[in-house]
Amino acid sequence: MFKKLLIANRGEIAVRILRACREMRIAGVVVYSDADRASLHVRMADEAYPIGPAPARESYLRIDKVMEIARRAGCDALHPGYGFLAENPELPRACVGAGIAFVGPSAEAMEQLGSKTAARQLAYRAGVPTVPGVREAIPELEASRRIAGDIGYPVLLKAVAGGGGKGMRAVASANELPAAWRDAGSEALNAFGDARLYIEKYLDRPRHIEMQIFGDAHGNVVYLGERECSVQRRHQKVIEETPSPFMTAELRREMGEAAVRLAREAGYSNAGTAEFLVDAERNFYFLEVNTRLQVEHPVTEAVTGLDLVKLQIRVAAGERLPVAQQEIALHGHAMECRIYAEDPENQFFPSPGQIISWRAPQGPGIRLDEGVYSGWTVPGDYDPLLAKLIAWGANRAETLARLRRALEEFEIAGIRTNTALFQRILAEHDFQNGEIHTRWLDERLASFLPARAQGVGAASDPLTTEAAAIAASLWHVCKATSSGEQSPATSRWRHDGRREQLSRTPDR
């Protein structure tokens, strides 16, 4: 087993991996940018090394700096987490050159499956159904016009190196194509350093269901059940659960076996996720493979009893998978909410700043994977994911009840978050009945937000609301002071002190 492992990431996933290392008695080494000097993952690590300025391109995305620190620290393994370099084949290639084990698939498997167009070609060879579209990058706009016309509108532009909804645009007609082509390519270049795009048919209101796969270096590959990821905002997953309320045992087996065929075709080892779109008739179409650990992996851990991070490390060290396909069973139901530092009532703008207080929910069936703490300042330089709140129950109803209760207990002060939005979504009738699809949240979002967030009625500026609340509080204090009123819970000493303070406050 490894003795020292470098985590080439930050935030909650770095903390998650550190905890697995500590349980396995592996020294955990982290890197941090200037903006993350006081981060939780830095405080928890056995060793921490600065990697550069706040911009990711100058720090977390620098393979040369990551490898130099891994060698200097004497690490014999490296875990990429997710995001940043996790799906860049140059990182495992650099690890091989340095004699450091990479906790993930090989560079060759990553190239076959990480590229969306190469993965579509592989799926075609493996006999896995794909969404109608092209299997290669489109060279320029004029070619895209012809291809989109042949496929038939609406179509979806997607980044070849994409993921997480970036570099993706739905196009309803030929008139929309030039602007969508420009915007998708620009976003893909900024996010992945690769502006190439391809086109596939846009499916109307499908479900997004993914299958967790795991392979080892000895040729064993298994699937660990599905995750329902249809609750999305602008192609970004918001809530995930397993099992899917739409799934049947037969569909699970067919999708799982298809995902395993893909992995075998690519010679895949370690954790991966095959993503599918599923229509109302339960026909499924291959979408892509994420060649890394997923953000939503905890729900799979909850129902299988497997620690996927430890399993990743053991497989990277050459061990065989500890379970065969027939031994894998799903127990209960699990659901996850992604807690972001963002303001849903102000166009979901990021909400960096200091966390004044952080009171995490607890109780039966509740798990929190966090990367923050009270007093820490959330930087505005990275993805605003703060934590993942996971609930497990014997069935979906119990899981929903526990998750709603946990969200009510969650107290975060100092920044804006999306916890209130989750409470509204979970209370909605369609969601409770599992009647969702990939456009469901976008179509219903306005009904989950207060009128002021939509520019209706009261002013939409949150500062106006805050100022009104402060003014009302001051009015009550002044009224009580001038009339000589005193709360039974307020001491005479404090009352006189407040009166003296108010008398010295100049008029505004």
Best CA proximity match to 63, nearest among 22, 24, 31, 17? 31
Among candidates 38, 39, 61, which has minimal Cα distance to 51?
Answer: 61
Q: What is the Cα–Cα distance from 425 to 447, expressed in whole angstroms?
A: 10
- Amino acid residing at 398: E
Which among 196, 292, 338, 416 is annotated as catalytic? Answer: 292
Which residue spans within 267-400 are E strands per DSSP?
270-278, 284-290, 333-340, 342-343, 349-350, 353-354, 357-359, 366-370, 377-378, 385-393
> Is residue 292 flagged as an active site residue?
yes
CA dihedral sign of residues 46, 47, 52, 57? negative
Contact between residue 257 and residue 326 where contact means Cβ atoms under 8 Å apart:
no
User: Phi/psi class of residue 386: alpha, beta or left (left: φ > 0; alpha: ψ in -120 to 50)?
Assistant: alpha
Report how far apart, in Å, the C-alpha atoms of 84 and of each of 9, 90, 197 are. 7, 12, 20
Backbone angles phi, psi at 92, to 5 degrees: -60, -30
For residue 208, report the phi and psi dihedrals to the nearest 5 degrees.
-105, 105
Query: Strand, coil or helix: what is 57?
Result: helix
Please give the structure tokens belonging to residue 325.
């396909």
Active site residues: 292
